[in-house]
Amino acid sequence: MRPFSYSRARTLGDAAQLTHDDTALAIAGGTNLLDLMKLQVETPETLADISRIGFGGIEDTDDGGLSIGALASNTETAVHPRVRSDYPVLARAILAGATQQLRNKATTGGNLCQRTRCFYFTNIDQPCNKREPGSGCGAIDGIAKLHAVLGTSDQCIATYPGDMAVALSALDAQVEIAKSGGDTRTVPVRDFHCLPGDTPWRENVLEEGELITAVTLPAPVGGTQIYRKVRERSSYAFALVSVAAVVEIEDGKFTRADLAFGGLAHKPWQDPRIGEALMGKVPSDDLFDKAADILLEDARGFGENDFKIPLARRTLHAVLQNATEAAA
Amino acid sequence: MTDTISVNGQQHTLPSDPRTSLLDFLRHDLGLTGTKKGCDHGQCGACTVIVNGIRINSCLTLAAMHDGDEVTTIEGLGTPDNPSALQKAFLEHDGFQCGYCTPGQICSATAMLQEIANNWPSDASESLEGEMAATGEEIRERMSGNLCRCGAYANIVAAISEVAEESA
């Protein structure tokens, strides 16, 4: 690990001050950042420890929703009684990721900001436009089993690896952000992560000096909530494909179909046309196929990950089938 | 004011180099070599310790971030003369071969039994709510952060199951 100076922030203001510099990084749980620092993928000159500035609470909001502090651990979120009863797709998504040891340290904010697990990104001897702009993308003609099939660019085909944000997207959660001057702004989780385009190093909309303070969930909508994660082993593996679904069926027809997909793109993937195609329709194999056609219309594989296209189709089909059975 | 950390009930001063992981601090600075360095990247679980009652990978956290925390390592769970219930069960069930992953397995399992007692769900739980049970399937899922390259998993699950049944 390269030498760095370590400072402990006591307040949000401290934290914003200490990180308002492109050689400084904030550290909270540290499970992703320290891993990348050992690999010298990240080489900050200053680490600002923000783990003790508050913002770890999970509280009811005035409109019946739930505010999850940026520093709440993934475990604290997944076991929170209201998350389990009102937002089960979120609890399921978190529990499907990593290990108990990692979830005990990982935080809400850090989970949203975690970096891709692309092998070219994490190996400094390999080309990577995300890590070293202009050096090329090793994955496009290389080892690409985990890589994206939607929203890729000729610069980068990495995936966003997390599960939590996929469920948060389906639940229409908002990211609360504090700016260094004391201002705040709110960004929907579904708009928080970026597609790679020509700037693959830019993974989310956070600007320098901005910190996530919380994620806010709207009042619970109920329905059948499913998180289906397909991976290469049954525990502790990143998603090849995942589907978060919040679905309601009334009088035999879809009255809600909020879907988000993991493992397919550089961000949790959502396409409002899928829900529109399902709404008001009677569940059927043909309808599920139509939904998958919309999802995968522009899908493109890179050899090793071609399998993700039929796998995403089958996983979406299975989730809609399960939701239909649950509503019957 | 000096930053201190409690390890197995004893106070220690935190290291001056901020790069020192909690794992290296325990092994190199304190000589508590029971906690093992396997992958050093949070993938194998050999470095698992219990901090403020919660199990974590000591390789993926800086010692400097633990001012005022209480750490329990394998040395703090029991001794050869007075082993903990899990330490005894691992011996009785032959829950290891080379033994390198064992301290991490036992620290992890110690905290895991408390998580089940708290009724925290896992990915293997049928329901997110209600009482959780230490079934074989639950133990395998909840212990997935601890690898055993010798493949002693069957005996590890048997050892943990026995202690879970005794304490249920």
Q: Are residues B70 and B90 in the same domain?
A: no
How does A219-243 read in b/e, with b if 16+ C-beta sit within 10 Å? Answer: ebeebbbbbbbbbeeebbbbbbbbb
Question: How many angstroms separate the CA of residue A284 from the nearest CA in chain B?
Answer: 27
Which residues in chain A are contacts of B138 at CB distance < 8 A? none
Question: ∠ CA A7-A113-A148 to the nearest 5 degrees?
Answer: 150
Across the interface, which of B21, B55, B64 has its CB nearest the CB of A101? B55
Q: Which residue has the tokens 């010798």?
A: B150
A224-327: CATH topology: Enolase-like; domain 1 (3.30.390)
Are residue B64 and residue B96 in the same domain, yes or no? no
Instruction: Give the whole-angstrom CA distance, residue B91 versus residue B109.
Output: 14
Q: How far is B10 from chain A (nearest CA, A)?
A: 23
Residues of chain A with CATH 3.30.390.50: 224-327
Q: Given CB atoms, is B144 within the 8 Å cutoff of chain A?
A: yes
Domain boundary among B50, B77, B104: B77
For residue B18, what is the domain's CATH number?
Answer: 3.10.20.30
Alpha helices in chain B (DSSP H): 22-24, 74-77, 85-92, 102-117, 136-142, 153-167
Question: Under an 8 A CB cutoff, do A31 and B140 touch?
Answer: no
How far, in Å, are A84, A117, B26, B111, B129 from residue B132 at the CA level?
14, 32, 33, 15, 8
In chain A, which residues have their Cβ closer than 8 Å to the Cβ of B115?
100
Chain B: residue whose CA lies nearest to A44: B19
**Tell me, what's the pLDDT at A254?**
98
Q: Whole-prediction pTM value?
A: 0.98
Residues of chain A with confidence (pLDDT) below 50: none
Identify whether residues B11 and B49 lie together within a single domain. Answer: yes
pLDDT by residue (tens digit) across A7-18?
999 999 999 888
Same domain, B57 and B33: yes
How many domains would you assign to chain B? 2
Contact state of A84 with B48 under an 8 Å Cβ cutoff: no
- How do residues A258-304 score in pLDDT, each as one tens digit? 999 999 999 999 999 999 999 999 999 999 999 999 999 999 999 99
- Dist CA A131 CA A155 (whole Å): 11
For residue A19, with 0-12 CB atoms within 10 Å meaning exposed, 13-18 middle and 19 or more buried, which class applies? Answer: buried
Residues B88, B92, B97, B98, CA torsion sign:
positive
Strand partners of residue B70: B6
Q: Are residues B21 and B44 in the same domain?
A: yes
Last-in-domain residue among B28, B56, B77: B77
Kindly report, residue by residue over A129-154, the tens digit of the pLDDT. Answer: 999 999 999 999 999 999 999 999 99
- End residue of a domain, out of B77, B104, B119: B77
Same domain, B152 and B103: yes
B132 and B108 assigned to the same domain: yes
Question: Domain containing B19: what range?
Answer: 4-77
Full DSSP string of A169-192: HHTT-EEEEE-TTS-EEEEEHHHH
Residues A159-169 have pLDDT tens digits of 999 999 999 99
Residue from the list B18, B108, B121 with its beta carbon closest to the beta carbon of A4: B18
- Render pLDDT for B5-22 as a digit per residue (tens, 0 to 9): 999 999 999 999 999 999
Interface mutation target, options A99, A103, A122, chain B, most CBs of B under 10 Å: A99
User: What single-letter amino acid sits at B74?
Assistant: I
CB contact under 8 A, B141 and A235: yes
> Both B11 and B50 in a single domain?
yes
Same domain for B105 and B64: no
Both B134 and B150 in a single domain? yes
Mean pLDDT for B119-145 is 98
State the CATH number of the domain containing residue B125.
1.10.150.120
Q: Which of residues 60-99 of B touch A (CB under 8 A)?
A: 60-62, 64-65, 67
